[in-house]
A = this chain, B = another copy of it.
Amino acid sequence: MTVSINEISASPGFGHDLPPHKLRDMLRYMLLARALDERMWVLNRAGKAPFVISCQGHEAAQVGAAFALSRGKDFILPYYRGLAMVLVMGMTPTEVMLGLFARATDPSSGGRQMPAHYGCRRLKIVTQSSPVGTQIPHAVGIGLAEKIKGGDAIAWVSFGEGTTSQGDFHEALNLTAVHRLPVIFQCENNEYAISVHQRQQMAVASVADRGIAYGIPGISVDGTDVLAVYEVTRRAVERARRGDGPTLIEARVVRMTAHSSDDNDRTYRPPHEIALVRHQDPIVRFVAQLREHGILSEADEQAMRAEVAAIVDQATEEAERAPMPEPETLYDHVYAPPRSRRHELRGGTN
């Protein structure tokens, strides 16, 4: 059931069904995510942002997937490296920076959570926590609800390869398979869980192999190839909407930074590997592809980079100016009030 990337690459011409402006849009989101992420590290080094955890190296895996999903309709449960995903889904750079600075108007948590714990009900980005893997059962429950209601939204959930060691991963995939629920599981395999290499994490070469245990198709794809990820996700989306059930996608990515700003990966990662990672940059790769196919001129690229830099500047400034949460708000939202939007019974005789 494991489908290799070669098979995917053998599909229709470059860009699949995507017109050139969409392809450029993809690149734009990748550049935006990267620029925001890099800025966060700068702010961290400058003592302005206490914590950063990166998307760098994962952008293609997320943008590729995002372009195959239906924004505002499908539910997204992206783990803490999901910056590029939430940008495509509609979170603004300013909103992202409000989270970094823990401002009152941070849409994810109002400054309550660490940065990169995304959530926004309006955008169907489901609130994320820190304990890894807990979001996977939530995605399954969203799919179950959809099946009960007869809807056709999909739940897309992401997590690292280390997280597949958690029991919740197993329980969730198993349940999804039993009911053929519309869920897409994207494992972003960057070979490390903080300092623990995949070899210490599992005895299989590919997370996609884990699908077989549940009767779920497992597909391993080069996650630095945005179009390959787009294509496998598009097929998974089709499958899910048809009612044929879930897909497990392993996107092989690179972690281009330390685990987080609290980590120092030179204590466990060989220097040559750290050097190598730079050569697997998904953005460099996509730029080259677009250039080669005449979809992106040098001038286009420069303009795009300039635009993105300006956006990041503006987002940073806006977010820095925003107010901190008031201390008294500590006590807000412990419980949802009765008679909230979910309260009234619907239908029936009561």
Q: A213 to B215, Cβ gap below 8 A?
A: no
Interface residues of A in 139-189 (CB under 8 A from B): 165-171, 174-175, 177-178, 180
Q: B166 to A178, Cβ gap below 8 A?
A: no
Interface: A201 (CB within 8 A): yes
Q: Which residues of B contact A167 (CB under 8 A)?
A: 166-168, 170-171
Partner of A200, one of B170, B178, B199, B214: B178
Q: How far is the CA of A177 from the CA of B205 in the complex (A)?
A: 12
> In the complex this chain forms, how many copies of it are found?
2
Interface: A203 (CB within 8 A): yes
Chain A interface residue count, Cβ-Cβ cutoff 8 angstroms: 25
Closest chain-B Cβ to A231's Cβ sits at a distance in Å of 25
Tell me the interface secondary structure of chain A in the complex.
Answer: helix
Q: Which residues of B contact A214 (CB under 8 A)?
A: 202-204
**Given contacts A168-B167, A170-B170, A171-B165, A209 and B203 within 8 Å (CB-CB):** no
Q: Which residues of B contact A168 (CB under 8 A)?
A: 167
Residue from A171, A175, A200, A213 with most neighbouring chain B CB atoms (10 Å): A213
Q: B178 to A201, Cβ gap below 8 A?
A: yes
Q: Which residues of B contact A200 (CB under 8 A)?
A: 178
Partner of A212, one of B165, B177, B212: B212
Closest chain-B Cβ to A218's Cβ sits at a distance in Å of 9
Interface residues of A in 185-221 (CB under 8 A from B): 199-204, 209-210, 212-216
Closest chain-B Cβ to A237's Cβ sits at a distance in Å of 20
Partner of A204, one of B165, B180, B215: B215
Q: How far is the CA of A323 from the CA of B278 in the complex (A)?
A: 74
Q: Which residues of B contact A166 (CB under 8 A)?
A: 167, 171
- Please list the residues of chain A having a beta carbon within 8 angstroms of any beta carbon in chain B: 165-171, 174-175, 177-178, 180, 199-204, 209-210, 212-216
Please list 12 pairs of residues, one from A and one from B, whose beta carbons are closer than 8 Å in the complex, sorted by A's number: A166-B171, A167-B171, A170-B171, A177-B202, A177-B203, A178-B203, A202-B214, A204-B213, A204-B215, A209-B215, A210-B213, A212-B213
